[in-house]
Amino acid sequence: MEGKDLNNPLGIPVGWRILELGVRDDYFDIWKRIREHAPVHDAGEGVFLVTEWGLVNSALRNPILRAGSGISAAFGQDSPVESVIRNWLMSLNGDEHRLARGLVSRVFAPRSLVALEPVIRETARSLILPFVESACGAPTDFVAGVAARLPSEVVRSLFAIDAAEWARHVEPLFLGENVHLQHGFAAVQGLTPYFQDMIRNARGRVTGGIVDMLSSADKQGDCLTEAEVIANSVLIVTAAIDTTAGLIANTLWELMENPGAAERVEADPALIAAAVDESLRHCPSAPSSTRRTPVGLELGGVTIPAGSDLFFSFSAANRDPKKFADPEMFDIDRDASALLTFGGGAHFCLGAGLARMEARLVFEELFAASRDFTLEEPVRWRVNNPVVRAPEKLMVSCRAH
């Protein structure tokens, strides 16, 4: 609801409808206004917006808080995928969370990432070269050609799924001209029966991928239920593709919006990692996280009743002038250690290292093959996934080296 009234002086959507802001071009201006109005703002319907860096950082690490309701709210509390979301890692607490996280974390261990790097680089190169060839002749969509396709191929290899099978069952949920028109829960809804069938058909048979890891017991002999294996398989695919594709697309968009930074990165590939990190701060593809309050507490001078939801805006916190000098500026010389985009505490994003590596390798290959990138059409922001902020497409032209 945009009309201002005494109960809504900012004129922002009420409650979980705050997620509707993600498609707006004035998105960051709105979050700046919210942060300046009140670092902790009662958005109504039991949702409190937390926007100041210090408050977000400390709350993320507060062991009292529980997993939030943000994903369920985004897709609809009574949506067809609610039971899947309830069983995946981001929705679990306590021993259930520690068990699931321990099993999932093996996929993203540093040693595993080192082994993946040559494969990811080769995949990135195989996508970049045809993209550059096309973009040198006519505007070409970087999202469909590279940004979404690379993480899709990486996660396919992690699950050890045959390429033809992946193309038939999974790719249509994430790739294609009209994917952005699908409802946000379409991918979750499509993946759930696929993994149900895979897990039930694979009983007693080693597949060599993530499903095997999730299905095995930990050192104490504890293991996930079938529902939790399915849910976390769905989570890994959706998160690994959507947010990483958004990171890659947002980084190129940022560089095209900031030609001085782009020129420096083109001239010195050692700056690519810094550009990726600054994109994570300045325009995060996963711009928020949530927690639930099992007891009443005070945050930023505001009394939060038990049973409330805290909505942490990384977009606002990452641009808090109390923490970052000239926060609205895209600055690749900035210290990235304070960015909050991957969360913090028990629910820190396990895929942070993999996402950063994929983005770095994409841009190393892109700048090795081409230069002078130009955005040929205005950006429209995705509407089908309320918890991701990324372009639907990036129509780009460039010149080859």
Output the pTM of the full model.
0.93
d(CA 387, CA 312): 12
Residues of the chain with pLDDT under 70: 1-7, 73-81, 177-184, 203-206
Q: What pLDDT shows up at residue 1?
A: 38
Pair 13, 1: CB distance under 8 Å: yes
Q: What pLDDT shows up at residue 5?
A: 56
Q: What pLDDT shows up at residue 180?
A: 62
d(CA 130, CA 146): 10
Helix/strand/coil (H/E/C) assignment for every residue in 202-216: CCCCCCCCHHHHHHC
Q: What pLDDT shows up at residue 77?
A: 56
CA distances from 46 to 65, 109, 221, 304, 305 (A): 15, 37, 39, 9, 8
Q: What pLDDT shows up at residue 204?
A: 59
Domains in the chain with CATH codes:
15-400 (1.10.630.10)
Tokens 């990036």 locate to 394
Token output for 175? 């790739």
3-state secondary structure of 288: strand
